[in-house]
């Protein structure tokens, strides 16, 4: 009976798409958090942090449901390991978004005027990476229906290539921002620099995990 139960379980791909959308909701909260920081609205930062935490919890629940219901015996068009890897990268993206919100909440760090524009440009570029991944991820259900081949697969491979290019741009902006931060070390408090770096690293980590998730998508297609 257990074998039959596995065989007739519903496809995991629609829930995985829903999880990807929920993760993107977490990531989207970084922009309003940065805006609240720029305006030194610490009350709003706390409210937004609560919202990110709630979204991350919802993403976690979706992830647990997916993993608990992944068929172990059914012949899927991709390996279970590839799906697990994709989910793991998505999970880390949501985790890093929540970490970022906590960093802003635990200390009243003032965003120096000379780095505001570069920080926001970096955040916008991270959204380009995350958004490209989401566009590719929502194709998972369609890809499963065509056994990860054909025109749909080629389209997703193009998106993944674009994702890598966008992540490379994010890396360059991160390096430039870091250089600018340290160029101001004579007028910045040491703790300000530390917190800027913490913020920068979390945003970079989201972009990196998005690229890693794209690599798992590529592996599902290029067998």
What is the pLDDT averaged over residues 23-37?
97
Residue-level pLDDT at 222: 86
Taking the model in full, what pTM does it have? 0.92
Looking at residue 147, its pLDDT comes to 80
The answer to whether 132 and 162 are in contact (CB under 8 A) is yes
Q: Which one, of 99, 223, 70, lies nearest residue 153 by Cα?
A: 223
**How far apart, in whole angstroms, are the C-alpha atoms of residue 64 and residue 56?**
12
pLDDT on residue 20: 96
Instruction: Lowest mean pLDDT of 36-40, 72-76, 141-145, name the range.
Output: 72-76
Q: Inform me whether the pLDDT recorded for 77 exceeds 80.
A: no
| Mean pLDDT over the full length of the chain | 91
pLDDT digits (tens, 9 = 90+) for 54-76: 999 999 999 999 988 876 655 57
> How far apart are the C-alpha atoms of 39 and 33, rounded to whole Å?
10
172-222 per-position pLDDT tens digit: 999 999 999 999 999 999 999 999 999 999 999 999 999 999 999 999 888
Q: Return the closest-CA partner of residue 132 out of 159, 102, 104, 171.
A: 159
Q: Which architecture, in CATH terms, is 11-221?
A: Up-down Bundle (1.20)
Amino acid 10: pLDDT: 67
Residue 126: the pLDDT is 97
Which pLDDT does position 75 carry in this prediction?
59
Cβ(36)–Cβ(111) below 8 Å: no
Taking phi first (over 0 means left), then psi (-120 to 50 degrees means alpha), and beta for anything else, what does residue 150 get? left
What's the confidence (pLDDT) of residue 197? Answer: 97
> What is the model's pLDDT at position 74?
53
- For residue 77, give the DSSP letter: S
Q: Which residue has the tokens 């070390």?
A: 185
Where are the domains positioned within the chain? Answer: 11-221
Question: Do 103 and 195 form a contact (C-beta atoms < 8 A)?
Answer: yes
Collapse the DSSP code of 11 into the 3-class scheme (helix H, G, I; strand E, B; otherwise coil) and give the result. Answer: coil
The answer, yes or no, to whether residue 7 has pLDDT greater than 60, is no
174: phi then psi, degrees, rounded to nearest 5:
-65, -45
pLDDT confidence band for 8 (50 / 70 / 90): very low
Report residue 131 as tokens: 């958004």
């Amino acid at each position: 009976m257990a074998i039959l139960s596995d065989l007739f379980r519903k496809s995991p791909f629609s829930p995985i798409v829903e999880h990807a959308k929920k993760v993107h909701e977490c990531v989207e909260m970084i922009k309003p958090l940065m805006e609240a920081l720029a305006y030194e609205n610490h009350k709003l930062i706390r409210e937004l942090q609560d919202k990110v935490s709630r979204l991350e919890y919802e993403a976690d629940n979706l992830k647990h449901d997916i993993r608990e219901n992944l068929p172990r015996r059914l012949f899927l068009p991709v390996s279970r390991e590839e799906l697990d890897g994709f989910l793991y990268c998505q999970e880390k993206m949501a985790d890093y978004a929540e970490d970022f919100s906590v960093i802003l909440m635990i200390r009243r760090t003032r965003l120096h005027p000379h780095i505001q524009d570069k920080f926001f440009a970096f955040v916008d570029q991270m959204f380009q990476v995350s958004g490209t991944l989401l566009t590719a991820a929502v194709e998972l259900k369609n890809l499963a229906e065509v056994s990860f081949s054909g025109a749909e697969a080629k389209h997703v491979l193009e998106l993944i290539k674009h994702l890598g290019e966008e992540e490379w741009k994010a890396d360059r902006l991160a390096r430039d921002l870091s250089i600018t931060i340290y160029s101001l070390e004579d007028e910045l408090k040491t703790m300000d620099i530390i917190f800027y770096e913490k913020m920068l690293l979390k945003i970079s980590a989201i972009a990196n995990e998005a690229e890693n998730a794209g690599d798992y998508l590529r592996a599902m297609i290029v067998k």
